[in-house]
Amino acid sequence: MSKPNIKNNEKKEKLITSLLDQMTLEEKVGQLYQTAIMGEFDYGPAFEKNNVSVLIKEGKLGSMIGPYDNQVSMKLQKIAVEHSRLGIPLMFCNDIIHGCRTGFPVNIAMSGSFNPELVKKSAEVIAFETSHSGTHVTFAPMLDIVRDPRWGRVVESPGEDPHLGSVMADAWVSGFQGEDPSDGNHIASCAKHFVAYGAAEAGREYNTVDISERMLRNIYLKPFKQAVDSGVKMVMSAFNVYDGVPMTANKFLLDDVLRKEMGFDSVIVSDYTSTEEIMNHKIAKNKEEVAEKCLNATLDIEMISTSFLKHLPELAQHSPKILDQINASCKRVLGLKYDLGLFDKPYKNMYPKFEDYFLLPESRHMSLQMALESAVLLENKTHILPLDKTQKIALIGPFSTTNRLVGPWGGKARNEDCVTFYEGLSKVFDHVMVSEGSKLKEMTEDMISDAVKIAREADVVILALGEDQYESGEANSKTNISLSDAQYELVKAVNEVNKRIVAVIFSGRPLILTPLIPYVDGLLYAWFLGTETGHALADLLSGSKNPSGRLAMTFPRHQGQIPLYYNHMKTGRPLDPINHPHNHYTSRYLDSVNTPLYPFGYGLSYSTFEHTDIKVSRDVFENGTLEVILDVKNTSDHAGYDVIQLYIEALHFSVTRPVNELKAFNKVYLKPHETKQLTFELTMDDFKAYGYPMHYSTESASYLIKLGNNSNDIFYTHQIQLKEGI
Ligand code: NOJ
């Protein structure tokens, strides 16, 4: 795992000490204020007018969200560097989540590529475009583990698994930051939202979180720990409470856990106004108390709201502790600016023609590769796929010709740059007819009859269905995550006249697809694939590329099963679905099986694989590494990727642990009939969890090692004994 170079520490220390010596209290507090230059930068009663330039001149602003435009950044930076007393440069931050101008697939889809190398390369492309358009910090990656698809922000997340989330955390952070985030091609990364935001009750945005500390440590903290180990430069505190205390004022988690336990020594930024929202939680009576509590929790930068700016100088007059805390926070902010090279080159990369760095052929190529590995093949009954290029295709549905394919938090990516499904298919297939058939949520008889007409003439129908890109993302929670009635009307009408149907689904969350399955032979989950959508889908459907994405989140059969995730805890009364499926007093539903429609890690390929000669290097594991070795053979005529997943199960422990825990995976490319040997290496650390009392250990227990095609389909199990500390 990479860590950025430590720059000349002595020079850094000297510069920062000298600045701190010269700075007034107001100037120090100014470094802790971040506003947004998007029409809202005058937030708060003290800043009713457009006075951002006055604030900069007075040294009362340290960083900002926006401006997303180098001409404006240049002007603002000039004020800071040439017209403020100490010339401290501004730091520009933006939400570049899955693409700057070249749109990449949404994050949950990229995570499902199970290809961290490709994610890292994509992050490098994103950093290149971002850095050349004048942004220094991206508020990404989002590392919230998610278990509830009703929550709109699952789209930004790495999915439901802490190991996959940690692998992706490293890929994103090291791709964004490179060896040195000041080198002009990279940027600083901000891991968010610390922590457990993804556990919002009932999937309702900004809702209460109430999980145990053990759950927090074993599941939710893991990707953040990895981001810290990978050298992340910034962490954002979350909107939610943990154990009753809002995260932005949560000293236990920000100071004791993030800083002291995990060793994070850089900048913590609040989320948008999350400081002052602690008054809504009734944790602070007024803004003075907001400022005091958040600073005391070691929060460094207040985003948008102005409690720090307005109240810290006054509070510090009477409290040496507050003064020390202001100094410490200011030092961290200046340290980050130094690491970004801003003192040496405050105007770096502020090219007036920054658009020249956008959408370069190699950037689009990387987006295409990522899209090809992000889509997930869920059904392929009757081997309907891949499709012959000479077949007559009817492309039908609300996603046939739309360019709304970027996905939420699209950065600077534009719908106009997206290759539509129809454009992509038309380049590859000889005969493509198209008809919208229905809108996302409504249809007319005429629309349906147009669609039925072309469906009747076609050899095969492709239905392009789903949810709009802004039905997921922040503040987009839903209670109904099924396809709309209008789209089902269309599906049924088409199915009446043509049974050869492949559905392609566009969405930012797992949808409930159970009612759709009887109507289709093929099912490809496209999520939102970004700029190269049409090209990627045409390649996958025609078989010139082989699907290899896997699900980073469980797909429930019914909404009533939510939250449903593979790594759930054991129950004292498990259901035995094979021998006693109707045993009443077991953990089950009266009206549904427990299993998901598609489990975590699931995804089909046009290839078939065989796994043989599986060996585990030892039965008693004491130290060093444990190897699991196997041969993988592609038994088909299609070249393709296999994704082998290694899970463990603790057989005896002081607390109950998940039924399966992903600990490693290997994505391997095999030519037709090729065989490769693969080795997984596990260390003691892979078996550890927080037991009772709260102690991180393997507990020298027995474990099962399992290899699977997904979390439900295990093809090999082997028991080992761990003996720690021998
Ligand atoms: C609120 C969102 O929760 C966060 O993810 C984002 O980075 C900030 N706004 C800044 O736009």
Distance in angstroms (rounded) separating the CA atoms of residues 509 and 246:
26
H runs (alpha helix) in 500-563? 533-542
Distance in angstroms (rounded) separating the CA atoms of residues 302 and 295:
9
Residue 679 falls inside a structural domain: yes
Cα–Cα distance list, 250 to 8, 204, 490, 672 (Å): 33, 22, 50, 55
Q: Say yes or no: 515 and 407 in one domain.
A: yes
Residue 64's pLDDT is 93
Q: Specify the number of domains making up the chain.
A: 2
Which of 500, 517, 542 corresponds to the end of one domain? 542
Please determine, for residue 269, whether its predicted confidence score (pLDDT) is greater than 50.
yes
Q: Say yes or no: 614 and 519 in one domain.
A: no
Residue 656 falls inside a structural domain: yes
For residue 34, report the distance from its CA to the centre of ligand 1, in Å. Answer: 12
Q: How confident is the model over 506-528, as a mean pLDDT?
A: 98
Please determine, for residue 10, whether its predicted confidence score (pLDDT) is greater than 50.
yes
Residue 51's pLDDT is 78
Residue 388 falls inside a structural domain: yes
Residue 68 falls inside a structural domain: no
Which helix (H) or strand (E) is 641 found in, with range? Answer: strand 640-650
Is residue 607 a contact partner of residue 386, using CB atoms and an 8 Å limit? no
C-beta of 139 in contact with ligand 1 (< 6 A): yes
Residue 581's pLDDT is 87
Distance in angstroms (rounded) separating the CA atoms of residues 310 and 436:
55
Q: Output the six-digit token pair for 498.
A: 């043509």
Is residue 649 a contact partner of residue 704, using CB atoms and an 8 Å limit? yes
Which residues lie closer than 8 Å to 4 by C-beta, 6 or more apart?
177, 178, 179, 180, 181, 231, 233, 339
Atom of ligand 1 nearest to the CA of 193: 5
CATH number reported for the structural domain that contains residue 405 in this entry = 3.40.50.1700
Distance in angstroms (rounded) separating the CA atoms of residues 679 and 623:
18
Q: How confident is the model over 321-347, as a mean pLDDT?
A: 98
Q: Say yes or no: 525 and 660 in one domain.
A: no
Which of 542, 565, 598 corresponds to the end of one domain? 542
For residue 409, report the distance from its CA to the centre of ligand 1, in Å. Answer: 10
Which position among 170, 271, 339, 417 bears the catalytic label? Answer: 271
Which residues lie closer than 8 Å to 344 by C-beta, 6 or more apart?
182
Residue 369's pLDDT is 98
In the block, tokens 């896997």 appear at 550
Which residues lie closer than 8 Å to 518 by C-beta, 6 or more apart?
none
Which residues lie closer than 8 Å to 416 by C-beta, 6 or more apart?
403
Residue 66's pLDDT is 87
Please report, rounded to a whole number, the percentage of residues in the chain having pLDDT higher than 90. Answer: 93
Residue 510 falls inside a structural domain: yes
Taking only the tens place, the pLDDT of each residue in 214-266 is: 999 999 999 999 999 999 999 999 999 999 999 999 999 999 999 999 999 99
Q: Output the six-digit token pair for 61.
A: 């602003």
Phi, psi dihedral angles at 719 (to 5 degrees): -95, 135
Q: How confident is the model over 552-578, as a mean pLDDT?
A: 97
State yes or no: is 271 an active-site residue: yes
Q: Is the dihedral of CA 569, 570, 575, 577 positive or negative?
A: positive
Q: Say yes or no: 386 and 495 in one domain.
A: yes
Q: Say yes or no: 623 and 716 in one domain.
A: yes
Which helix (H) or strand (E) is 312 found in, with range? Answer: helix 307-317
C-beta of 65 in contact with ligand 1 (< 6 A): yes
Taking only the tens place, the pLDDT of each residue in 455-501 is: 999 999 999 999 999 999 999 999 999 999 999 999 999 999 999 99
Atom of ligand 1 nearest to the CA of 190: 7
Report helix, strand or coil for 541.
Answer: helix
Taking only the tens place, the pLDDT of each residue in 409-437 is: 999 999 999 999 999 999 999 999 999 99
Please determine, for residue 5, whether its predicted confidence score (pLDDT) is greater than 90.
no
Is residue 79 a contact partner of residue 56, using CB atoms and an 8 Å limit? yes
Q: Say yes or no: 535 and 624 in one domain.
A: no
Distance in angstroms (rounded) separating the CA atoms of residues 452 and 454:
6
How many CB atoms neighbour CB 392 within 10 A?
A: 14
User: Considering only CA atoms, which residue is closest to atom 4 of ligand 1?
Assistant: 271
Atom of ligand 1 nearest to the CA of 139: 7
Report helix, strand or coil for 343.
Answer: coil
Q: Say yes or no: 367 and 450 in one domain.
A: yes
Question: Bridge-partner residues for 612, per DSSP?
Answer: 631
Residue 214's pLDDT is 98
Is residue 509 a contact partner of residue 539, using CB atoms and an 8 Å limit? no
Atom of ligand 1 nearest to the CA of 192: 5
For residue 268, report the distance from its CA to the centre of ligand 1, in Å. Answer: 14
Q: Which of 35, 98, 139, 301 to mutate to test the pocket of ligand 1 (most atoms within 8 A of CB)?
A: 139
C-beta of 192 in contact with ligand 1 (< 6 A): yes
Which helix (H) or strand (E) is 625 found in, with range? Answer: strand 625-634
Q: Say yes or no: 501 and 642 in one domain.
A: no
Taking only the tens place, the pLDDT of each residue in 438-457 is: 999 999 999 999 999 999 99
H runs (alpha helix) in 518-620? 533-542
Residue 430 falls inside a structural domain: yes
Q: Say yes or no: 620 and 517 in one domain.
A: no
For residue 403, report the distance from its CA to the centre of ligand 1, in Å. Answer: 25
User: Considering only CA atoms, which residue is closest to atom 7 of ligand 1?
Assistant: 139
Report helix, strand or coil for 503.
Answer: strand
Q: How confident is the model over 687-702, as a mean pLDDT?
A: 96
Distance in angstroms (rounded) separating the CA atoms of residues 98 and 473:
12
Summary count for the chain: helices (H), strands (E): 18, 26
Q: Say yes or no: 510 and 375 in one domain.
A: yes
For the stretch 347-350, contacts whose Cβ atoms lie closer than 8 Å and that sit 24 or more positions apart, written own/partner, are 347/74, 347/77, 347/81, 348/184, 349/131, 349/132, 349/133, 349/134, 349/184, 350/70, 350/73, 350/74, 350/77, 350/134
C-beta of 205 in contact with ligand 1 (< 6 A): no
Q: Output the six-digit token pair for 356.
A: 């020249």
Residue 456 falls inside a structural domain: yes
pLDDT band at 297; cut points 50, 70, 90: very high
pLDDT band at 45; cut points 50, 70, 90: very low
Q: Output the six-digit token pair for 204.
A: 């309702």
Which of 495, 519, 542 corresponds to the end of one domain? 542
Distance in angstroms (rounded) separating the CA atoms of residues 524 and 536:
12
Atom of ligand 1 nearest to the CA of 236: 7
How many CB atoms neighbour CB 471 within 10 A?
A: 18
For residue 273, report the distance from its CA to the centre of ligand 1, in Å. Answer: 10
Question: Bridge-partner residues for 328, per DSSP?
Answer: none
User: Considering only CA atoms, which residue is closest to atom 10 of ligand 1?
Assistant: 272
C-beta of 272 in contact with ligand 1 (< 6 A): yes
Taking only the tens place, the pLDDT of each residue in 78-103 is: 999 999 999 999 999 999 999 999 99
Is residue 656 a contact partner of residue 569, using CB atoms and an 8 Å limit? yes
pLDDT band at 724; cut points 50, 70, 90: confident
Containing domain of residue 697, as a range?
609-722
Please determine, for residue 546, whether its predicted confidence score (pLDDT) is greater than 70.
yes
For residue 236, report the distance from its CA to the centre of ligand 1, in Å. Answer: 9
Question: Bridge-partner residues for 604, per DSSP?
Answer: 377
Mean pLDDT of the chain: 96
pLDDT band at 44; cut points 50, 70, 90: very low
In the block, tokens 């460094």 appear at 300
Q: Say yes or no: 527 and 388 in one domain.
A: yes
CATH number reported for the structural domain that contains residue 705 in this entry = 2.60.40.10
Cα–Cα nearest to 150, from 589, 658, 556: 556
Please report, rounded to a whole number, the percentage of residues in the chain having pLDDT higher than 70. Answer: 97
Burial 636-645 (b: 16+ CB within 10 A, else e): beebbbbbbb
Four-CA torsion 593, 597, 598, 604, nearest 10 degrees: 120
- HSE of 247, CA atoms in CB hemisphere, 13 A: 30
Residue 1's pLDDT is 41
Q: Say yes or no: 512 and 647 in one domain.
A: no
Residue 159 falls inside a structural domain: no
DSSP string computed for 406-465: S-SS-TT--GGGSPPHHHHHHHH-SEEEEE--S-SS---HHHHHHHHHHHHH-SEEEEEE
pLDDT band at 71; cut points 50, 70, 90: confident
